[in-house]
Amino acid sequence: MSEAMELKQHAIDYSQQIPNNVNLSNDRVLQRALEQWQPRFLNWWHLTGPADTATLQVYLRTAISVDRDGWANFGYVRMPEYRWGIFLTPHDEDRKISFGEHRGENAWQEVPGEYRSTLRRIIVTQGDTEPASVEQQKLLGKTCPSLYDLRNLFQVNVEEGRHLWAMVYLLHRYFGRDGREEGEALLQRRSGDENNPRILTAFNEKTSNWLAFFMFTFFTDRDGKFQLAALAESGFDPLSRTCRFMLTEEAHHMFVGESGVARILQRTCEVMRDRGVSDAGQVRAQGVIDLETLQRYVNFHYSVTLDLFGAEVSSNAASFFASGVKGRYKETNLSDDHLLGSDRYAVQEVEDGRIVEKSVPALTALNARLRDDYTREIQAAVDRWNRIPEKFRIPFRVKLPHSGFHRKIGAFAGHHISPDGQLVSSRTWEAEAARWLPSDSDHEFVDSLMGRVVDPGMFANWIGPPARGINGLPVEFEYVRFD
Ligand code: BYC
């Protein structure tokens, strides 16, 4: 490919009603269908997106191209005028399917008939999580701990909105009438709605305060990373190219979560040291989040996110892999036969009142394997968090609970497992749950700390400032303007 052609594929055309790098104007029917969906998306954004933001100017990044420097474009944007669009990484004509029965064949540019419903289902499930998270975070702007954080929340929100666009483009372009109907349904379901909830469990939970938001972006957005990475391996090339670009957006969301929790830890530890307090009640009396409550939020968000990987042993996952629809994390870099015909994988389950390890066909254990990859990365980040109390010589360490703790999906569903991995009775569970999971009074306490800090450079008492500002700007920059 010539250099000029390559640049064209990378660049995003903002002169169009729908910014894109997929030559949308060459396909009038598709363009018209998406232009009809656009006002419905905007209506959904007004109804369920971040509350009372229509007049704000937010210092946001907007992608101008899909190459590495494509994010260099920062500036003030009025939120509803954000240019949501369709951005795919460039087409590689030589790309081959790297796993499953079709290994070595050319990647599919159209949907193979036999995998149509599977692919549609996966794309809809992925797409459904994006607006769900925006709905979950709708009210957080009202209680922001700083302008810096408010801007980050809105950046996450607009990009989740764009991820919805990414999936709706695939549905409209490749799935005809069914796809258009699914595109509508994605705007109809609502997080937490009893009659028409979002598809996956975690996306119907509340994100009612900023501790929950940082936990969500740390734990749940990272599930997004791992699922997108597995879909980026897909034999269906447009899905792969879409997910590759989405992954670049996801990285910032996880940074928001990891650094947000780290700043809370830092602030609490500082207060504990400076005021010589360690008891949770005394710590709370200083207006900061006690470490025990933080641990309970970790227990909740980690366990709810593990459910998003599906059952550990899953025939769905096996057929997604065998058919070349969804790969493993970093599939192309793995050095086995990419077929898993006779490989085994160890999973845990409950048998005769005990947690036992079992070796099962690796093909059926792909959800467990992806989850294990995820946990390794999460553990590394938790280790980074733990350097903070260590630095303050505070004996507390954040600990991930056992993978069976508080699970609703998979091998542990229906069992009670303590955070340290003991099978316990319902009675013990009920007696201990308030020590292990955030109680109503924990939520009330954290909610009570949430004020609204909007003076540039100021931070709520319960969180430390970030190490640096956005895009090389100072921390006290006016990241959101209210005029
Ligand atoms: N809740 O064999 P099973 C993100 C259903 S996050 C409710 O266990 P499978 C983001 C399942 O659908 C990433 N239902 O699992 C983050 C199936 O139903 P059917 C989102 C569940 O199919 C933050 C049945 O149980 N992306 O991007 O191997 C902010 C048995 O299924 C749940 C994806 O998930 C649950 N937790 O895998 C914004 C990728 N778990 O078919 C965004 C696309 C399972 O029998 N999705 N079920 O009616 C997938 O790859 C798969 O659907 C799953 C489940 C991994 C979710």
Predicted pLDDT at 72 = 75
Atom 55 of ligand 1, nearest CA residue: 309
The string of pLDDT tens digits covering residues 377-433 is 999 999 999 999 999 999 999 999 999 999 999 999 999 999 999 999 999 999 999
What's the whole-number mean pLDDT along residues 83-112? 96
Atom 9 of ligand 1, nearest CA residue: 310
Cβ–Cβ under 8 Å, residues 251 and 244: no
Closest CA to 153 of 207, 111, 192: 207
Residue 9 banded pLDDT, cuts 50, 70, 90: low
Span from the CA of 126 to the centroid of ligand 1 (angstroms) = 8
Atom 31 of ligand 1, nearest CA residue: 310
Cβ–Cβ under 8 Å, residues 132 and 186: no
Query: Where does 49-196 have alpha helices with state H?
Result: 116-136, 147-174, 176-188
Cα–Cα–Cα angle for 414, 416, 417, nearest 5°?
Answer: 130
Q: Which of 217, 227, 231 to mutate to test the pocket of ligand 1 (most atoms within 8 A of CB)?
A: 227
Tokens 């990365």 belong to which residue? Answer: 377
- Distance of alpha carbon 418 from alpha carbon 428, whole angstroms: 9
Atom 37 of ligand 1, nearest CA residue: 310
CA 481 distance to own-chain centroid: 27
**What's the mean pLDDT when you consider all of the chain?**
96
Residue 1 banded pLDDT, cuts 50, 70, 90: low
Cβ–Cβ under 8 Å, residues 225 and 250: yes
Predicted pLDDT at 340 = 96
Atom 27 of ligand 1, nearest CA residue: 224
Span from the CA of 402 to the centroid of ligand 1 (angstroms) = 21
The string of pLDDT tens digits covering residues 141-173 is 999 999 999 999 999 999 999 999 999 999 999
Atom 50 of ligand 1, nearest CA residue: 122
Atom of ligand 1 nearest to the CA of 129: 42
3-state helix, strand, coil in the chain (%, to 5): 55, 10, 40
Res. 7: pLDDT tops 90? no
Q: Which of 120, 135, 137, 409 to mutate to test the pocket of ligand 1 (most atoms within 8 A of CB)?
A: 409
Query: b/e per residue, 51-71, with b = 16+ CB within 10 A?
Result: eebeebbbbbbbbbbbbeebb
Span from the CA of 310 to the centroid of ligand 1 (angstroms) = 5
Res. 118: pLDDT tops 60? yes
Cβ–Cβ under 8 Å, residues 281 and 272: no
Residue 71 banded pLDDT, cuts 50, 70, 90: confident
- Distance of alpha carbon 323 from alpha carbon 336, whole angstroms: 17
Res. 115: pLDDT tops 90? yes
Closest CA to 220 of 345, 133, 110, 102: 133
Span from the CA of 309 to the centroid of ligand 1 (angstroms) = 6
Predicted pLDDT at 403 = 98
Predicted pLDDT at 70 = 76
Residue 15 banded pLDDT, cuts 50, 70, 90: confident
The string of pLDDT tens digits covering residues 196-253 is 999 999 999 999 999 999 999 999 999 999 999 999 999 999 999 999 999 998 999 9
Pocket of ligand 1 (CB under 6 A): 122, 125-126, 129-130, 133, 160, 200-201, 220-221, 223-224, 227, 307-311, 314, 316-317, 326, 367, 409
Atom 21 of ligand 1, nearest CA residue: 200
Cβ–Cβ under 8 Å, residues 107 and 259: no
The string of pLDDT tens digits covering residues 433-477 is 999 999 999 999 999 999 999 999 999 999 999 999 999 999 999
Atom of ligand 1 nearest to the CA of 370: 55
Closest CA to 185 of 44, 326, 70, 73: 44
Residue 39 banded pLDDT, cuts 50, 70, 90: very high
- Distance of alpha carbon 104 from alpha carbon 332, whole angstroms: 12
Span from the CA of 330 to the centroid of ligand 1 (angstroms) = 19
Residue 68 banded pLDDT, cuts 50, 70, 90: confident
The string of pLDDT tens digits covering residues 347-375 is 999 999 999 999 999 999 999 999 999 99
Res. 8: pLDDT tops 80? no
Atom 41 of ligand 1, nearest CA residue: 316
Q: Give me the phi and psi of 296, to 5 degrees please.
A: -65, -35
Helix (H, G, I), strand (E, B) or coil at 307: helix
Q: Which of 316, 347, 366 to mutate to test the pocket of ligand 1 (most atoms within 8 A of CB)?
A: 316
Tokens of 213: 């938001």
The string of pLDDT tens digits covering residues 174-194 is 999 999 999 999 999 999 999
